Structure 1
Amino acid sequence: MGGSGLVVSDLSVGYGPVRALRRVSLQVPEGAVVTVLGANGAGKSTLLRAISRTLSFHGGAVVEGTVSLAGRRLDTLSPDRVVAAGVSQVPEGRQVFARMTVADNLAAGALGSPRSRRAAALRRVHELFPVLAERARQRAGLLSGGEQQMLAVARALMAAPALLLLDEPSLGLAPLMAERIAETVKEINEQGTSVLLVEQNAALALRLAERAYVLEVGEVTLSGPATELAASDEVRRRYLGVVDEDAAADAARAGTGTRTLTRWRG
């Protein structure tokens, strides 16, 4: 993987005395979809906040390491300059401006962008999410959960990013809506936008991504092509709900229960 995309090198993050990430390194090549898997508290959202430079809003700080996009350092920039450099984040829980209209939410996503790009960006998000054009004057808080997720993604796309950071886009959505969001992520990527996807629905994430990383207690414990991780027995047990019945039976006969690894490396 080359350095034309996102490169995170030896990144460590702390919340006061608590170390949330420890020397994390990963890459998102230009035009790729990369996913980060892990349990709650593994540091996935912290990683995205470190990339987008929004850690300080949550009481965190980068302790060491670098983040760059297309060879340009991001870890020295303010959050608004990171957006200007080509990175937009869709936060967990959508966090749309509930009292503002759909149109105003989208306009907020374009703040700081050249006026010449705004019309094209708006056309793009309306093509991706026609319902947002239909409900432009409706308050965002009155949208369904799935429609709010569409709005959150569309708002981030209004800045015309080179890299989209997605934090749990399927969280709380019905399976059919989660699939619709997944198809939209695929289409966004096919249009040329790179994607770094944090997602607890591992089956969905591994289907979308070319490469995957597993975070465990703030460290990368496994990485590789998404197809290889999807075939890994450890990943299948931990994240895909697939049980090795023979191994489980042997463990049960031994009276020890199913053995699991606490750490592993690819």
Structure 2
Amino acid sequence: MGGSGLVVRDLSVGYGPVRALRRVSLEVPERAVVTVLGGNGAGKSTLLRAISRTLSFHGGAVTEGGVTLGGRRLDRLPPDRVVAAGVSQVPEGRRVFARMTVADNLRAGALGGDRSGRAAALGRVHELFPVLAERAGQRAGLLSGGEQQMLAVARALMAAPKVLLLDEPSLGLAPLMAERIADTVREINTQGTSVLLVEQNAALALRLATRAYVLEVGEVTLSGPAAELAASDEVRRRYLGVVDEDAAADAEQTAATRRTLTRWKG
């Protein structure tokens, strides 16, 4: 395995006897946004846990394959060393430290480093999320859902990652707040951080990404440029809620005929 970005090669994961991922391969080039689409249970969160080395906390283990960042193997490191190597994850459901202040949540994400580095990281997240500077002394649990998501992303950025893993960042958010999070992902990427985005809002994800992968029952079934997948009939039907117009018209005509026959018989 090699490459200058994040490379996942032939990765298989099991939870006891249950295989959750089967020989999954993908790449996140430097300064890219890559998205992984798929329904519930497809293995998307498992993939991120395997990369961040947090699988063991959920009873899972890598059984085959591996992960590298810039040619360096990550799959043999403990989670804190993966963060130190340049990969930070924002888990699904935000999971901020509710009883700690906003400022303390951010400090928890800094993972050591010198004072100037921590100050630079804090300045960056305050620039991205001014509301967090305003609420520095407030308990995180008192923030709105959208603000908590901002805090979760900001906490991950405090480690100055090369690659940010985002697990369902728009989940449970109002459309306007989801778009604000999307704008922030774009800005983070513009500043040089690569992003691997797991997102059920396929339309949003495909707008953000340059490349996309479709994961189904633990296997990659489709991959390619995000624009091509967005134009794919299969992706449009399964993930974007777009149906074939001719098929829809036929179905409507059939339904109308059935309604007519029912009335005729009556």
Under TM normalisation by the shorter chain, which class is it? over 0.9
Question: Tell me, which stretches of 5 or more residues in structure 2 are unaligned?
Answer: 256-266
Contact 1:84 1:112 in 2 (8 A): no
Q: What's the Cα RMSD here? A: 1.3
**Identity across matched positions, percent:** 89
Instruction: Provide Cα deviations, 1:36-64, integer angstroms capped at 9, x if missing partner.
Output: 00000000000000000000000000000
Opposite residue 242 of structure 1, the aligned amino acid is: V
Instruction: Provide Cα deviations, 1:110-155, integer angstroms capped at 9, x if missing partner.
Output: 0233333100000000000000000000000000000000000000
Opposite residue 134 of structure 2, the aligned amino acid is: E
Match of 1:50 in 2: 50
Match of 1:70 in 2: 70
Q: Which has the larger radius of gyration?
A: 2
What is the SS of the residue equivalent to 1:27?
strand
Match of 1:109 in 2: 109
What is the SS of the residue equivalent to 1:173?
coil
Q: Which has the higher helix share?
A: 2
Match of 1:221 in 2: 221
What is the SS of the residue equivalent to 2:228?
helix
Counterparts of 2:106 and 2:76, CA distance in 1: 27
Match of 2:195 in 1: 195
Report how far residue 200 of structure 1 moved: 0.5
Match of 1:155 in 2: 155
Counterparts of 2:112 and 2:21, CA distance in 1: 31
Counterparts of 1:56 and 1:112, CA distance in 2: 24
Match of 1:208 in 2: 208
Counterparts of 2:251 and 2:11, CA distance in 1: 38
Counterparts of 2:243 and 2:89, CA distance in 1: 35
Opposite residue 29 of structure 1, the aligned amino acid is: P
1:116-265 to 2 correspondence within 5 Å? 116-250=116-250
Q: TM-score, normalised by structure 2?
A: 0.93
What is the SS of the residue equivalent to 2:183?
helix
Task: Work out whether 1:7 is the aligned partner of 2:19.
Answer: no
Counterparts of 1:163 and 1:141, CA distance in 2: 27
Report how far residue 162 of structure 1 moved: 0.2
